[in-house]
């Protein structure tokens, strides 16, 4: 039996509740949450979908660290498992937090390929070498789970801060050989809520379940942004 201590919130008050779960080898924290919901307390609310670490629904704080519940094995966590909603997000109910703002920040960095010759009706295959693909590929792996944002010290003190995931998306497109939207994105990234807010704490890379290294993306974006500002100053 493993003891689950869950931080709950019903819209008014916040409290801890404990459950005993019969854990066997292979059981994940997500399966334990379903076990609790289906056998002990069906009001327990959490998000989940793919249960294979690719949809990004189930990031939560497990034993003080943000992780995906679906890929965290219960038996690696000891006799007591503490489960809480992510930090830096407003809690809606139990483990469910407000993500609208997070997705708005992602949208704000123009996370799509920008090309002058965009032709919906008659698209043409663009070439990209495997090396060019590798330049940005790792940054496409972000599942927008929010783990990075939940540990970001800049996001903790400033609600408007873009945060690591959005800035990673900005860099991902800037580094794509097919893209022509760098200038627009550098402007967004160098705004008061962008790359210069980063405290270089690097915790975002530490907790990323997909090893995307958002801290590295932010660093690279800083360099490019600085260079672009310098260039425009000199020209001026």
Partner 1 sequence: MQHDIVIVGAGIAGMRAAIAAAEKSKRLSIALIAKTYPIRCHSVCAEGGTAAVLREGDSFDLHAWDTVKGSDFLADQDAVEFFVRECPVEIIRLENWGCPWSRNEDGTIAQRPFGGHSFNRATYAKDRTGFHEVHTLYERMLMYDNIEIFPEYFITNLAIENGAVQGVSAIHLKTGYMEFFQAKAVIFATGGAGRLYGFTTYSHQVTGDGLAIAYRNGIPLKDMEFFQFHPTGLIPSGILMTEGCRGEGGYLLNKNGERFMKRYAPEKMEVAPRDVVSRAMWTEIIEGRGFEGEYGPYIALDLRHLGEEKIEERLPLIRDAAIKFAGVDPVEEPIPVKPVAHYTMGGIDTNVRCETAVKGFFAAGECACVSIHGANRLGSNSTAECLVFGRVAGEVAAEYALNAKQGKISAEFRQKEEKRIFDDLLGKSGDESPYQIKRELNETMDSNMWIFREEKGLKEAVKKIQELKERYRNVEINDKSRGFNTDLTSAIEIGYMLDLAEVVAIGALKRQESRGAHYRLDYPKRDDENWLKHTIAYYTPEGPKFDYKPVTITKWEPVERKY
Give the Cα-Cα-Cα angle 62, 67, 69 (nearest 5 degrees): 75
Distance CA 236, CA 83 (A): 54
* Dist CA 174 CA 190 (whole Å): 14
Spatial neighbors of 120 by CB under 8 A, at least 6 apart, are none
Smallest separation (angstroms) from partner 1 to the CB of 236: 30
Min CB(173)–partner 1 separation in Å: 7
Shorter beta-carbon distance to partner 1: residue 35 or 226: 35
Burial class of residue 1 (count of CB atoms within 10 Å of its CB; 0-12, 13-18, 19+) = exposed
Shortest CB 55 distance to partner 1, Å: 4
Q: How far is the CB of 80 from partner 1 (least distance, A)?
A: 22
Smallest separation (angstroms) from partner 1 to the CB of 223: 22
Q: Among residues 30 and 154, whose Cβ is nearest to partner 1?
A: 30
Query: At its nearest, how many Å lie between partner 1 and the CB of residue 38?
Result: 4
| Strands, sheet with 2-9, edge to edge from the N-terminal-most edge strand | 14-21, 2-9, 80-84, 59-62, 65-68
Beta strands in the chain (DSSP E): 2-9, 14-21, 59-62, 65-68, 80-84, 91-93, 96-97
**Contacts to partner 1 by CB under 8 A:** 10-11, 25-26, 28, 37-39, 41-43, 45-57, 71, 92-94, 96, 99-100, 103, 107, 111-113, 115, 118-120, 123-130, 132-133, 136-137, 140-141, 143-144, 169, 173, 176, 178-179
- The residue (of 85 and 154) whose beta carbon lies closer to partner 1 is 85
């Amino acid at each position: 039996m493993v003891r689950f201590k869950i931080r709950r919130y019903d819209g008014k008050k916040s409290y801890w509740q404990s459950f005993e779960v019969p854990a066997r080898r292979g059981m994940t924290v997500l399966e334990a949450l379903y076990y609790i919901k289906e056998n002990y307390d069906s009001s327990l609310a959490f998000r989940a979908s793919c249960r294979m670490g690719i949809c990004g629904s189930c990031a939560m704080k497990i034993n003080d660290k943000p992780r995906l519940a679906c890929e965290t094995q219960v038996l690696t966590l000891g006799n007591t498992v503490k489960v809480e909603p992510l930090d830096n997000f407003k809690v809606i109910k139990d483990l469910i937090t407000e993500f609208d703002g997070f997705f708005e920040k992602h949208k704000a960095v123009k996370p799509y390929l920008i090309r002058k010759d965009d032709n919906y009706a008659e698209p043409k295959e663009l070439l990209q070498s495997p090396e060019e693909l590798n330049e940005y590929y790792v940054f496409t792996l972000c599942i927008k789970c929010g783990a990075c944002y939940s540990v970001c010290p800049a996001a903790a003190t400033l609600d408007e801060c873009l945060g690591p995931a959005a800035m990673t998306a900005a860099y991902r497109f800037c580094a794509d050989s097919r893209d022509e939207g760098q200038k627009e994105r550098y402007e967004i990234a160098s705004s008061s809520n962008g790359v210069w807010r980063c405290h270089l704490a690097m915790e975002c890379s530490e907790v990323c379940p997909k090893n995307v290294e958002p801290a590295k993306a932010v660093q690279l974006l800083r360099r490019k942004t600085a260079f672009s500002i310098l260039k425009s100053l000199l020209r001026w």
